[in-house]
Amino acid sequence: MAEAKEAKEFSTYKGRPLVRCGDEIYYGNMDEPYVIRLQIKSKKEVGGIEVADKITVQLMATDPYLLPRKAIVKTSEKQGFYLAMDIADIWLGRALAGKM
């Protein structure tokens, strides 16, 4: 018998999906015109735990017909995950509201 597949629930931040694959984190819904890609460039150890140090933040269009290079609308590098998520949420909110 075929078992029904359960839909996986993603972690969310401020109501938007947050998906991690290795050192890349995607923030936003792929059904919307824009998402954010966060790439962890370096890590450091704090209190015995490895944490992200330098993170590249990219606002990307989700149009499947755009070349990957042309899909990148904005990019920045931030120190620490908190600052990266702060700017990511601001950029994504503005882009989806059409205020870029």
Average pLDDT of the chain to the nearest whole number: 89
Q: Sign (positive/negative) of CA torsion 88, 40, 21, 61?
A: positive
Angle at 10 between CA 74 and CA 43, to 5 degrees: 55
Report percent pLDDT > 90 for the chain: 70
CA separation for the pair 64, 94 (Å, rounded): 21
CA separation for the pair 11, 43 (Å, rounded): 22
Which residue bears the tokens 């205020």?
Answer: 99
Report percent pLDDT > 70 for the chain: 91
C-beta neighbour count of 51 within 10 angstroms:
12
What pLDDT is attached to residue 42? Answer: 92
What pLDDT is attached to residue 26? Answer: 95
DSSP string, 33-47: SEEEEEEEEEEEEET
